[in-house]
């Protein structure tokens, strides 16, 4: 009996030990989770390349230290590197031969999925490695991209030799896609940083090579398929690309420190202003100046952390708009030969030869893709990124409405013309988006933001491409004919809906620091910039309007206002389309209040 208390005590000790053990394990797990999160946050916080003085001096010379670096050199080097990476766009030439080699029933397809996987991996690789690319030397990230891309070609050759679809997906889809992601982002980032005053044109020139890859490699791939075996074709293609890209990479170097503005400038150069952070002191405020232009001139540029950029609703609205701009042509790029054959050619309801072969149409499409990247980037430097993207989306909406009509009428040439026009918009989106992101979030965040926004490319490639291919294959499996047009019309309609959604999202993107920080009024519901002027909707209690829905101009003749009475109370729905002078006055008042706030905060801290 005397042993009972001791036994009870032993059980209590055992229970306490077990509880302590569980708590210790839980605390250890929580600590490990916090450490992992901290490492991730730290990784995405360092997005700036900081070379040593020795490295800066070394980067003054390129091509193994033999040639003095000039800013124009990066353009042709970047174009050629992107040209080799752009060989992925001519993948559709390999679809039929690979299907015949690996799949007895070639109508089921399977090779097309490789293209979707490669572009899917490209986007997510760019997102994951964006901060590392931004903070590393461009030749370091470039050589890794080239080596992995070459490894993907070697693995693809092996997959075709042993006739395994799974190894094909891994080799060209995952391995080559990984190399594409690293190489694509690092090359564009290096070229764009050399041309801060014409970033849209510079980025457009760089990605022009990527679009041009489809133009040349359509012929190259066709010749390789005709004169060699498929494994040998990928060995030749990968080896040639490896040598060419490795040589061109030697001309890539980062610009010297101070070449780019450290932050985001104000959109209006007329203000001579730079917006400061909350802790920055303004010398004119110290002197109690009342000159807004003198005051604004002392404000530094805005430095936006990457985390703040990624949390911004403007980034995700732009993400949707970008993805919507590319989904249609992304699907067409990998399916154009089969679409031409089934809708107008040998596999159509009335078999016949098309006016031009399918591979020629693919090559011409690559030319429009290449042309759009440069042209749209240059246009965006002059009329603005947002206005340019809206034009691209609107053009695609019109094209998607008209394409089913051309298919139904059997108008081969009008079908191709609309496809090529849409391809200009597709390539233009890629040419403009790096400069768009740089303008919105700063040059030091460009690679990281660009990598993340390229996941929209991945989603559009995987989801859009697989949806299109699966719907066609399911239609054929259930007794439908490959040339039935209604299954294509269904696909065109969901793509049209997505492009319209992208157009709406783009309308609400605040593409500049000024738009994002423009002061809101009490009761404001929404604000957006339309044709260069601010349009906003807000609730007011102004009783000066009759409430019958009529419009009346304000005292400022350049500002249009309209009030709509929605109830018997004095509450009105108020619409404003601000004139340039009124917008400028409101913005200068905001800058002055911000300057005074900074002064007061520093006085309190002292």
For 382, the token pair is: 């002059």
pLDDT score recorded for residue 11: 65
pLDDT score recorded for residue 302: 66
How far are the Cα atoms of 33, 241, 314 from residue 217, in angstroms, in the given order? 47, 11, 37
pLDDT score recorded for residue 594: 67
CA distance 84 to 209: 8
CA distance 468 to 596: 57
pLDDT tens digits for 56-112?
Answer: 888 888 888 889 888 888 999 999 999 999 898 788 888 889 988 887 665 566 888
* Pair 331, 495: CB distance under 8 Å: yes
Single pTM value for the model: 0.75
What is the set of domains in the chain, with CATH numbers?
61-257+304-514 (1.20.1250.20), 515-580 (no CATH)
Phi, psi of 397 (to 5 degrees): -60, -45
Task: Give the chain's largest Cα–Cα span.
Answer: 105
CA distance 84 to 534: 44
Q: Given a cut of 50, is residue 402 above it in pLDDT?
A: yes
pLDDT tens digits for 229-286?
Answer: 999 999 999 999 999 999 999 999 888 887 776 666 644 444 443 344 433 433 443 4
How far are the Cα atoms of 178, 226, 382 from residue 233, in angstroms, in the given order? 21, 10, 43
CA distance 603 to 129: 42
CA distance 344 to 374: 31
pLDDT score recorded for residue 497: 94
pLDDT tens digits for 426-448?
Answer: 989 988 898 899 888 888 888 88
Confidence band of 394 (pLDDT split at 50, 70, 90):
very high
């Amino acid at each position: 009996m005397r042993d009972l208390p001791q036994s009870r005590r032993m059980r209590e000790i055992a229970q306490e030990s077990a509880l302590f053990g569980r708590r210790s394990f839980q605390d250890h797990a929580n600590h490990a989770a916090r450490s992992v999160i901290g490492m991730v946050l730290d990784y995405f916080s360092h997005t700036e390349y900081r070379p040593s003085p020795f490295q800066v001096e070394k980067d003054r010379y390129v091509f193994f230290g033999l040639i003095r670096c000039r800013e124009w050199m990066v353009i042709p080097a970047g174009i050629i590197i992107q040209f080799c990476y752009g060989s992925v766009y001519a993948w559709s030439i390999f679809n039929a031969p690979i299907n015949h080699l690996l799949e007895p029933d070639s109508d089921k397809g399977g090779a097309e999925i490789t293209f979707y996987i490669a572009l899917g991996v490209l986007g997510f690789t760019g997102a994951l490695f964006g901060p590392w690319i931004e903070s590393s030397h461009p030749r370091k990230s470039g050589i890794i991209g080239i080596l992995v891309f070459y490894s993907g070609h070697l693995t693809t050759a092996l997959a075709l030799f042993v006739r395994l679809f799974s190894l094909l997906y891994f080799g060209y889809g995952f391995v080559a896609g990984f190399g594409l992601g690293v190489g694509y982002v690092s090359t564009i980032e290096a070229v764009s940083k050399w041309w801060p005053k014409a970033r849209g044109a510079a980025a457009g020139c760089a990605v022009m090579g990527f679009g041009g890859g489809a133009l040349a490699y359509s012929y190259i791939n066709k010749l390789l398929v005709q004169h060699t075996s498929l494994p040998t074709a990928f060995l030749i293609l990968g080896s040639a690309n490896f040598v060419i890209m490795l040589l061109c990479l030697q001309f890539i170097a980062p610009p010297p420190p101070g070449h780019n503005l450290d932050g985001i400038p104000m959109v209006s150069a007329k203000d001579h202003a730079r917006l400061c952070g909350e802790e920055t002191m303004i010398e004119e405020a110290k002197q109690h100046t009342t000159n807004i232009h003198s005051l604004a001139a002392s404000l530094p540029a805005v430095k936006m952390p990457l985390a703040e950029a990624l949390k911004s609703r403007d980034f995700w609205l732009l993400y949707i708009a970008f993805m919507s701009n590319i989904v249609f042509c992304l699907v067409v790029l990998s399916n154009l030969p089969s679409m031409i054959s089934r809708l107008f050619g040998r596999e159509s309801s009335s078999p016949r030869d098309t006016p031009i072969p399918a591979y020629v149409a693919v090559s011409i499409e690559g030319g429009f893709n290449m042309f759009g990247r440069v042209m749209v980037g240059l246009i965006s430097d002059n009329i603005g990124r947002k206005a340019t993207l809206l034009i691209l989306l609107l053009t695609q909406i019109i094209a998607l409405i008209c394409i089913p009509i051309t298919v139904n009428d059997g108008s081969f040439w009008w079908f191709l013309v609309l496809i090529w026009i849409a391809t200009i918009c597709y390539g233009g989106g890629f040419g403009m988006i790096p400069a768009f992101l740089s303008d919105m979030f700063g040059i030091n965040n460009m690679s990281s933001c660009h990598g993340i926004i390229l996941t929209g490319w991945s989603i559009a490639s995987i989801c859009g491409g697989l949806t299109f291919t699966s719907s066609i294959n399911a239609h054929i499996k259930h007794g439908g004919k490959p040339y039935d047009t209604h299954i294509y019309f269904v696909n065109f309609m969901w793509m049209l809906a997505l492009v319209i959604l992208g157009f709406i999202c783009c309308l609400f993107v605040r593409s500049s620091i000024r738009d994002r920080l423009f002061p809101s009024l009490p009761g404001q519901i929404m604000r957006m910039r339309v044709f260069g002027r601010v349009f906003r909707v807000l609730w007011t209690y102004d009783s000066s309007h009759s409430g019958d829905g009529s419009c009346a101009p304000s005292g400022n003749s350049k500002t249009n206002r309209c009030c709509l009475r929605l109830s018997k109370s004095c509450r009105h729905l108020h619409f404003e389309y601000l004139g340039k002078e009124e917008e400028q006055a409101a913005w200068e008042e905001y800058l002055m209040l911000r300057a005074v706030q900074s002064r007061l905060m520093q006085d309190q801290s002292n």
